[in-house]
Amino acid sequence: MTDIKQFEEKLGVKFNDIELLRTAFTHRSYINENRGNGIVHNERLEFLGDAVLELVVTDALFKKFPDKPEGDLTALRSALVNTTTLSTTADSLGMNDYLLLSKGESKEKGRGRQFILADTLEAVIGALYLDQGYDAAGEFIGTHIVVLVDDIIKNESYRDAKSRLQELVQEEHSITPTYDVIRSVGPDHDKVFTVGVFFNKKKIAEGSGKSKQEGEQEAAKQALELQDK
């Protein structure tokens, strides 16, 4: 693992308590292989960072788009704080290099790694908030996350995938897609739901998310990509 102080320098912030930042990168699985060292995993910081992130993004969108209705603001916020956006942002910041994971989790790729990166980014926000305050956390979120909203609008990636899929399938096949949870794994506070989307009881695609709703959106997104091929 790369020295955490390098990430601190990348942030351009001098932490009063560097251990907060180190904790933000510590996955629960790492604790299982390094017991007795007084190491703490990042889930409490993730919990805090998630709340700070949602408030900052909500405030920024409310001020930036005074004429947009609540539904549009909600869709834009969801696009900014979902797993895909957060993990892509974390990856662009090089956060993979600083993760503390078990040997097994370190081999995890794809959607599983996306979840880890998104959670870690939220934990970093939580650490920044505790150490530097709301304004510093808000500046970080504005610089790296809120700034993406213009591209999201341009690409229309904020549009609800389930609604787009339903419109397409009803138009072409006169049926309505249905969704069902295939499996859920993890503790109650950190479950990952895998959801299938079905056309006339035939599974077309599946997706995973930290909630059933996010899993449904991911499944619909995957189904849309298949329809485009």
| Domain range annotation of the chain | 4-155, 161-228
Name, in order, each residue with C-beta under 8 angstroms of 132's C-beta and a sequence gap of 6 or more. 13, 15, 16
Do the domains 4-155 and 161-228 sit in the same CATH topology, yes or no?
no
Q: Is 122 one of the annotated active-site residues of the chain?
A: yes
pLDDT beyond 70 at 109 = yes
Q: Is 54 one of the annotated active-site residues of the chain?
A: no
The pLDDT mean for the chain works out to 91
* CATH dotted code for 161-228: 3.30.160.20
pLDDT beyond 80 at 111 = no
Closest CA to 158 of 68, 75, 43: 75
The pLDDT of 163-191, averaged and rounded, is 88
Catalytic residue among 50, 214, 216, 218: 50
| Percent composition of the chain: helix, strand, coil (DSSP 3-state, to 5) | 65, 10, 25
C-beta separation of 29 from 11 below 8 A:
no
Catalytic residue among 122, 206, 214, 218: 122
CA terminus-to-terminus distance, the chain: 40
Instruction: State phi, psi for 169 to the nearest 5 degrees.
Output: -70, -40
Instruction: Report the range out of 10-14, 27-31, 131-135, 208-212 with the highest average pLDDT.
Output: 131-135
> Strands, E, within the chain: which ranges?
178-185, 192-199, 202-209
User: What SS3 class is residue 36?
Assistant: coil
The pLDDT of 174-197, averaged and rounded, is 90
Token pair recorded at residue 100? 């503390």
pLDDT beyond 60 at 1 = no
The pLDDT of 84-90, averaged and rounded, is 94
State pTM to two decimals.
0.79
Distance, CA of 67 to CA of 101 (rounded, Å): 44
* Fold exhibited by the domain 4-155: Ribonuclease iii, N-terminal Endonuclease Domain; Chain A (1.10.1520)
Q: How many other C-beta atoms lie within 10 A of the C-beta of residue 91?
A: 15
Closest CA to 105 of 22, 215, 26: 26
Q: Which residue has the tokens 């209705």?
A: 69
Better pLDDT: 110 or 120: 120
pLDDT at 163: 86
10 pLDDT band, cuts 50/70/90, is confident
pLDDT at 134: 97
pLDDT at 11: 87
The pLDDT of 165-179, averaged and rounded, is 90
